[in-house]
Amino acid sequence: MTVLSRNPVETTASSDLMEEAVDWLVMLRGGNLSESDTNAFADWLLQDVEHADAFAKAEDFFNEMLVYAKIPSLETDQPSYEHPPKVVPIVKSKRKVNTWLAIPLAMAAVWLLAVGLVMPQQSSLLDNFFSDYHTQTGEIRDIQLSDGSHLLLNTNTAVSVDYQASKRLITLHHGQVRLTVAKDVQRPFEVKADSLTLRALGTVFDVYRKDARSIKVTVQEHAVAASLQNSTEPATVDQSKAVVIQTGQQLLYKGEGSLPEPTAVNLSQAAAWQQHLLYINNRPLSELIAELGRYRLGRIYLTDNKLKDLKVTGVFPLDDPEDVLSSVKNVLALQETKLGPWWVLLHR
């Protein structure tokens, strides 16, 4: 990978270190690091203070690309000819078009990089743009629909609403929503999350779409019928293989191609987010950090598996995730290393 530097002279060692830093920056921009990749990144940062410094410089480089991006002067860019050939005007016009196209593309690339590194991993600006309703990071929003039904959108959630004469359809693009359904015998109420379709048989249920391979359905009142799209006819739903989820049950679909049986769930714990609370009962610290990460900008990293597997229990207010993070750090006697305003490494 070629790395541009603002320093006129740079040693081979520092150049290699900067390349490593930019490689990590690009990997983090992708947003799909595995557990081993995340551990390796944390280990790399903690190896030497120069690593953290190189990473900060890599961030600065991308942030300042917009400042240094300037449109070249067409007069100075043109080659000098004692007897200019006739093709010079054509070349000039072509360079002008390419220049004006390159600058917006560079700006868009830098903007996407910055957004990808700061926004929570489950957010999607494209989904937000095409949705009817969405929430920002940390926002919980209640929406009343035209039939009297209510949607309670959790943080970083996007939905679309399609009400027709014969049915009511909610599409969950990403995030989590509690649905309180108004009765209408003429128009069934359905929720679509990727290949999973849910038909309300009662009033209140919760759907959390973490990604296409992890969709969680929790029924708070009455029942919900869950079914999958027909693999041979994607536009149809295979009702013959529908699974009914009753009150106090939860279905976790992981994209296996068939629906598992629902399991019992503690509704008070599962619905805690609706009161702006996060309930963790004897679960790994990594789960608490992952949930907390949904409500704040940036990333939180745990540096080793022992920390990740450490069991924690508690009820945490979601209105101030930074205060929760500070409390967790103090109670568990963890050290904190900050990389700019957005990234936090927790370690011993």
Residue 7 lies in a domain: no
Q: What is the mean pLDDT of the chain?
A: 77
List pLDDT tens digits, range 273-311: 999 999 998 999 999 999 998 998 888 889 888 899 999
> What is the residue whose two structure tokens read 């009033």?
203
List pLDDT tens digits, range 116-133: 554 555 555 667 778 899
- Cβ distance 209 to 215 under 8 Å? yes
Expressed as residue numbers, the domain containing 235 is: 127-267
Closest CA to 195 of 150, 151, 227, 222: 227
Q: Which amino acid is at 37?
A: D
Query: Does 285 lie in the same domain as 214?
Result: no
Residue 109 lies in a domain: yes
Query: Does 141 lie in the same domain as 80?
Result: no
Where does a domain end: 267, 290, 314? 267
Query: Does 221 lie in the same domain as 106?
Result: no
- Cβ distance 206 to 215 under 8 Å? no
CATH number of the domain within which 154 lies: 2.60.120.1440
Task: Please count the structural domains in the chain.
Answer: 3
Query: Does 138 lie in the same domain as 67?
Result: no
Say whether pLDDT at 72 is over 60. Answer: no
Residue 318 backbone phi and psi in degrees, to 5: -95, -5
